[in-house]
Structure 1
């Protein structure tokens, strides 16, 4: 289930909203032109399934989104814990690539097949931290200032949609705001505490 936390942009950010309520989340995201939809989850896909198998499992949904939005390139991004002693270093490097605030000249559209990650969307004087999980399809419009955190122990699979065959290209702002806002691990812990 999606979890939304909205913060002020202050030097010491304050929490403005914290919710798992789907209608509250939809209303808050609509105000900043972000769309969140939900697809059914294919339960028998295992972590680490190859791209072809994942795209085949969601073929109808992917084709519908491609037809509606005109995307020309679709791929799968995933990172899961491994027994490899180099995994912590690999995970930290992958996480670091997306942790700085940036924009794109294309929409950023992700469907979470499994696992979770947080998109931080900076708009209207607030930072909207959207914790996405399996079944969530998030559409962040081009030029929206944002960043992504997969946590210190990344475990996710996501289908990505692009209008440009170059895929993910970030335009970094240089603003250090991401360092002031609670990270994935802190928000996930807060969510667990709220749930009791």
Structure 2
């Protein structure tokens, strides 16, 4: 089940609020400029589907969002617990960073934890199957796919080369719960 835990930066062990109802999560994130939505596939997606099959199942929603927001490219990230570089990939997202463009992820399968550092709060968004999150450019955040990742996510970019992360240098991410905690 998707959830949103909102923490004050001074209390990483105790959230101020925890939300599990979609409308509450979406409304709370919208107040911070974060898009949270749900999509359904037009066709059934078989385990192990190719990038083309995954994109095809969501083509209408992808086209609409790409037109609306000016995204230029789309791809599919697929990771599981057998991936030989799972630890390195996880580590690359765990430090707080920013991007010069939006970070858009739609979870076709599996889950991941986006932590958004906005002013004096951290918004920990557990995204699961059918969840779309769009983190605006410049928003400080980190992402955890867990020690044993299992996710298939559609990604959209403004830059055809994909996004580049700029580390903030803040160690805040190390103080907050991880996906497997």
Alignment TM class, shorter chain as reference:
over 0.9
Which residue of structure 1 lines up, in the alignment, with residue 127 of structure 2? 132
Determine if contact 1:32/1:124 at 8 Å carries over to the other structure: no
Inter-partner Cα distance in structure 2 for 1:184 and 1:42:
29
CA RMSD of aligned residues (A): 1.6
Instruction: Indicate the larger mover: 48-57 or 102-111.
Output: 48-57
TM-score in terms of structure 1 length: 0.87
User: In 2, distance between residues paired with 1:180 and 1:100?
Assistant: 11
1:23-66 CA distance string (max 9 Å, x none): 22122212211010111146732343221111111111111111
Aligned to 2:166: 171
- Partner residue of 2:136? 141
Q: Any unmatched runs of 5+ in structure 1?
A: 187-196
Instruction: Name the residue aligned to 2:118.
Output: 123
**How much does 1:68 deviate?**
1.0
Matched, 1:73 2:73: yes
For the pair 1:59 / 2:59, whether they are aligned, the reply is yes
Equivalent-residue separation in structure 2 for 1:60 and 1:81 (angstroms): 30
2:32 is matched with which residue?
A: 32
d(CA) in 1 for partners of 2:98, 2:12: 23
CA distance in 1: counterparts of 2:140 and 2:90, whole angstroms:
18
- Contact 1:74–1:162 (CA<8 Å) still a contact in 2? yes
8 Å CA contact 1:47, 1:157 repeated in 2:
no
Matched position secondary structure for 2:125: strand
Q: Equivalent residue for 2:148?
A: 153
Answer 1 or 2: which has greater helix percent.
1
Residues paired across the two proteins, number: 181
TM-score by length of 2: 0.94
User: What's 1:100 paired with?
Assistant: 95
The gaps in structure 2 that reach 5 residues or longer are none
The answer to whether the 8 A contact 2:43-2:57 is kept is no
